[in-house]
Structure 1
Amino acid sequence: MARQLALPLPVRAALGREDYFVSSSNSLAVALLDGWQGWPAGKLLLAGPAGSGKTHLAHVWAAESGATILPATALPGLPILELTAGPICLEDVPRIAGDRAAEEALFHLHNLSLAQGQPLLLSAETAPRHWPLGLADLKSRMEATQTATLREPDDALLAAVLAKLLADRHCIPAPDVIPYLLHQMPRSFAMAQRVAAELDARALGRAKGITRALARDVLLSLARRG
């Protein structure tokens, strides 16, 4: 039987409000984000493991608030005064730890944003007490920021995450694939991303597409790799 031509399509993540699935694992964080106009001191930290939806929620918030989204590592050299004229979201804040220029830039941005009444959203995988920041004044301000935590997924959320990751990759699994994965795979966002990427790669050119048998093979392969 002739194999289908493998044409890898670009991964395009859907980042709209309607594309974000709310469950018991993330409902409190979503509620805190929705209440952004009442954040204590005008700031919030969105914390959660890789793949938990921090970037997705940042884009939802930016669409509602008009915020600018930036990686924290981009701060040195940017016009801080201009940035603080509107809402700001800084992603992956712990990555600037040890970079004196970036830490000082965030310190000034933090203070100017709050002084001008502009909301500030930060994101990270962990709470600020775990960040090895060198600037003591910045560390104290980060630790005083209210935190909205995205937890590892429950069944409903993991199913939705798997479906979205596959849809972002233009993949349509057989009806029994996601229920099978829910019962067999380690329960984490990181694993969901690995599974989706592997299914996508292996499905290219397969006439049968993504089947339960392929899902089983992918899980066995990932388990062997560790």
Structure 2
Amino acid sequence: MAVVSWPCLTINLRRTLVTQHSPKQLSLPVYLPDDETFDSYYPASGNDELIKTLQNSAQQSIDNSLYLFGPEKSGRTHLLHAACAQANDSDRRALYIPLGIHASISTALFDDLESMQLICIDDVDAIAGHPVWEEALFHLYNRIAEQDDCQLIVSASASPQEADFVLPDLVSRMQWGLIYQLQPMEDHEKLAALQRRAAMRGLQLPDDVGRFLLTRMARDLRTLFDVLDKLDKASMVHQRKLTIPFIKEMLRL
């Protein structure tokens, strides 16, 4: 998978925040794929308002905070990556933080983040039940609320009330802003997304072949796209089209 070196997002990211007191350097081991943008996202019906709001939020602060929730592998991470990419295209300072790795980083990462223009925090419910992290995030929410041009977007697998946070004030802050539930894709939408992805790679994915993948593989798009990438490479090596027999052979189904 390709890695994009955006100004604020690289492997083993070294971020310098200059404050009135002293510069602070923090290392964040994160990489972002260069193909996860709004253009490459396949929205399910019912998510149009959410996508438009995220695009607007990436270009300007519209409500200080936005809370997005949906099941694992539902596309939440793709959307946060896309927001950061669009913010960078608009020359806005952006940062992506995956809190699934909170055990290997420090709450000091939140210090002075309000100087950024877009902050995307993924899997925020990973810190639910960790008082030190919850308090640090609570204070970040308060600092951001005092800024004129700082947008916070967080993602989780459940709503603020259902995410098992132990700090009531943090849940209250999360409810201050916009809250969206990511709607799941129907099978025909997943098929269309697979075919569009295949076409971008110069592949033809017939309906019957696409439906075969949907019935035999995990049904989330991230897994399906990974499988399609493998089949793309295999088809080039073997100089064969994507057919059900070929897929069975390559995936040992």
TM-score when normalising by structure 2: 0.65
Larger RCO of the pair (alpha carbons < 8 Å, separation 6+): 1
Equivalent residue for 2:173?
A: 141
The one-letter code of the counterpart of 1:30 is: I
Correspondence 1:150-189 to 2 at 5 A: 150-155=182-187, 157-163=189-195, 172=203, 174-176=205-207, 178-181=209-212, 184=215, 188-189=219-220
The one-letter code of the counterpart of 1:18 is: D
Q: How many residues align?
A: 208
Cα 1:196–1:129 shift into 2, 3 Å: same
Cα distance in structure 2, aligned partners of 1:215 and 1:25: 32
- CA RMSD, Structure 1 to Structure 2 (Å): 3.5
Equivalent residue for 2:164?
A: 132
The one-letter code of the counterpart of 2:35 is: A
Structure 2 gaps of 5+ residues are: 4-32
Q: SS where residue 44 of structure 1 aligns?
A: strand
Q: SS where residue 17 of structure 1 aligns?
A: coil
Deviation at 1:159, TM superposition (A): 2.5
Equivalent residue for 2:131?
A: 100
The one-letter code of the counterpart of 2:194 is: L
Equivalent residue for 1:31?
A: 52
- Please state which structure has a larger fraction of its residues in strand: 2
| 2:90 pairs with 1:64 | no
| 2:42 pairs with 1:21 | yes
Deviation at 1:20, TM superposition (A): 1.9
TM-score when normalising by structure 1: 0.72
Encode CA deviations 1:51-79: one digit per residue, 9 max, x unaligned: 32222221222233332111232451225
Structure 1 gaps of 5+ residues are: 1-8, 222-226
Q: SS where residue 88 of structure 1 aligns?
A: strand
Cα distance in structure 1, aligned partners of 2:199 and 2:73: 15
Encode CA deviations 1:61-112: one digit per residue, 9 max, x unaligned: 223333211123245122512x110221111000011222211111111111
Cα distance in structure 2, aligned partners of 1:35 and 1:184: 36
Equivalent residue for 2:111?
A: 80
* % identity of equivalent residues: 28
Q: SS where residue 154 of structure 2 aligns?
A: strand
Q: SS where residue 85 of structure 2 aligns?
A: helix
